[in-house]
Amino acid sequence: MRLILLGPPGAGKGTQAQRLVERHGLVQLSTGDMLRAAVAAGTSVGRTAKDLMDRGELVPDDLVVAIVSGRIDQPDAKKGFILDGFPRTVPQAEALDRMLADKGLKLDAVFELKVDEDILTSRVEKRVAEMRGRGESLRSDDNPEALQKRLAAYRAQTKPLVAYYAQKGALNTVDGMLPIPHVAAAIDSVLSSLPQASGSGAARAESSS
């Protein structure tokens, strides 16, 4: 299965992606994680991305598209993947369509995790406090200014993807305000209604009867 999780910061994409990894044997392809790894490794991509990320702005489309394309080609992604944090702009979505067509792959479903904006800030603040409590190092963009920028970037650049995928008939909107297990159940219910989703990630439903 190949899935996209769309939603603003704090919507629960990472949490749901993790559950999908465990239950369906997919790999989670988080562009945020990939970029943070590039920053930590000090690669040229990381050097370009760092300041933009710290400010809560998006990094250039071509750079992210290249990272994702390379990642999809790795052997572990053959069993299926969840894109988390990508695509984030309409040009990225168009590039993804071309990329998948070139690779002979198709998407199975797009999920929008819908959450009221006014609770997102408090969710992210809670996550920061919990990480602090566990003594974990904080993300350099988990501060109020960068968070507001990330929300603004979502609104202006990523939200249009909801219409983009709705038009293709691929969009499934899930209420991200529900408790985590309910959100997971809503996602699973859509997945079980997909013809390709029957059986495990490795199995393929050949019969259409």
Which residues are known to be catalytic? 13, 88, 127, 139, 150
Q: Is 29 in the site for ligand ADP (CB under 6 A)?
A: no
AA identity, residue 50: K
AA identity, residue 17: A
Minimal distance in Å, beta carbon 176 to ligand ADP? 13
Minimal distance in Å, beta carbon 88 to ligand ADP? 4
Neighbours of 19 (CB within 10 A): 17
AA identity, residue 182: H
Q: Is 162 in the site for ligand ADP (CB under 6 A)?
A: no
Note whether 80 and 27 are within 8 A (CB).
yes
AA identity, residue 105: L
Q: Is 115 in the site for ligand ADP (CB under 6 A)?
A: no
Stretch that binds ligand ADP, among 18-26, 52-60, 72-80, 102-110 (CB under 6 A): 52-60
Tokens describing residue 102: 């070139």
Q: Is 50 in the site for ligand ADP (CB under 6 A)?
A: no
Minimal distance in Å, beta carbon 128 to ligand ADP? 11
Tokens describing residue 148: 């507001």
Distance, CA of 177 to chain centre: 17
In the complex, the residues that contact ligand ADP under the rule CB under 6 A are: 9, 31-32, 35, 52-53, 56-59, 64, 85-86, 88, 92, 141, 150
